[in-house]
Amino acid sequence: MKTYSVVPNVDVTGWFVKLEDVAPEEVYDSKEDAISAAEQMAAENTPSKVEIMDKDRNVIEEKRF
Spans of all domains in the chain: 2-64
What pLDDT is stored for residue 22 in this prediction? 77
Rounded to whole angstroms, the Cα distance separating 21 from 65 reads: 18
What pLDDT is stored for residue 26 in this prediction? 84
Q: What is the pLDDT of residues 5-50, one digit of tens each?
A: 999 998 889 999 999 877 777 899 999 999 999 999 999 999 999 9
pTM of the model: 0.89
Rounded to whole angstroms, the Cα distance separating 57 from 8 reads: 9
